[in-house]
Amino acid sequence: MNARERLAVALDVPSLDEARRVEEALGGVPGWLKVGAELFGAAGPEAIRVAGRRARVFLDLKLHDIPNQVARAVAVATANGVGMLTLHAAGGAAMLAAARDAADESAARSGRQRPILVGVTVLTSLDDTALKEVGVRDGVAGQVARLVELARSVRLDGVVCSARESAAIRRRVGPDFTLVTPGIRGLADACDDQARTATPGEAIRAGSDLLVMGRPIARASDPAEAAAAVIAEIEAGLGVPQG
């Protein structure tokens, strides 16, 4: 992937009109646009079409349900042409395998490319204390390692993880496994509700493949310029000569 294809900007907005405004302001600079639950709930598949005008679509619904329901949702998303889709790895092997099979079958029927399927490990808003509240006693590192192995066992394409776990995962899985990293912030950016953050350069050097940023870019006075600055940081992290 080139640097542009390593940046996903989140369209975390409440309406299709606002999504169009952000998409137009970005001017096709990032390679991916992410549609989450808020926008998809407001606009449905039309949000995918708006996001897909000049970028690949990352549909981030973090599916977590019984295998049949997840499989049906994945089939519909695949037919709608999404490029990447999230599933909660904690949904278990049967659910993840059903999603993988549904994506393959829907892609064959619709003539679409199968989306990249990534399993969410531990949300970047959570830390060891928060995990203990839901019964996970061995902390973020232990839970992430466990769910990475589960995702690999059912042949998912990758996982969602913070940059703090990327280096250890990359050493464990090698190069052919996609690491998607949210919680990306510049040095001057507020962390908002993120607990495990990193800069773009830190995340790339740690082994992350695709960086997800929302508010710092979408709410900038010039979103295209802000996205281009992040891409330059990604290039620096990859060792691409500047100038």
Report how far residue 128's alpha carbon sits from residue 123's, in angstroms, rounded to the nearest whole number.
11
pTM listed for this prediction: 0.92
What average pLDDT does the segment 165-179 reach?
A: 95
pLDDT at 187: 45
Report how far residue 102's alpha carbon sits from residue 69's, in angstroms, rounded to the nearest whole number.
11
Nearest to 173 by CA among 132, 207, 139: 207
Q: Contact 81/88 with Cβ under 8 angstroms?
A: no
Both structure tokens of 97: 């395998």
Question: Residue 186: pLDDT band by 50, 70, 90 thresholds?
Answer: low
> Quick check: is 62 catalytic?
yes
- Token pair 């990327």 is at which residue? 166
Residue 34 DSSP SS3: strand
What average pLDDT does the segment 110-137 reach?
A: 94
What average pLDDT does the segment 196-202 reach?
A: 80
Catalytic residue among 49, 62, 64, 170: 62
Q: Is the pLDDT at 194 greater than 80, yes or no? A: no
Q: What domains appear along the chain, each with residue ranges and CATH number?
A: 4-238 (3.20.20.70)
User: In sequence order, what DSSP letters do the residues of 105-169 get, joined into one string?
Assistant: HHHHHHTPPPPEEEEE-S-TT--HHHHHHTT--SHHHHHHHHHHHHHHHTT-SEEE--HHHHHHH
Residue 69 CB partners (closer than 8 Å, separation 6+): none
Report how far residue 123's alpha carbon sits from residue 88's, in angstroms, rounded to the nearest whole number.
10
Report how far residue 200's alpha carbon sits from residue 229's, in angstroms, rounded to the nearest whole number.
10
End-to-end CA distance of the chain: 20
H-only helix segments in the chain = 16-26, 37-43, 45-51, 67-79, 93-110, 128-133, 139-153, 163-173, 200-206, 215-218, 223-238
Q: What is the mean pLDDT of the chain?
A: 93
Residues 47-70 have pLDDT tens digits of 999 999 999 999 999 999 999 999
Backbone angles phi, psi at 188, to 5 degrees: -95, 0
Secondary structure element (H or E) that encloses residue 210, with its range = strand 210-213
- Token pair 């589960």 is at which residue? 150
Residues 203-228 have pLDDT tens digits of 999 999 999 999 899 999 999 999 99
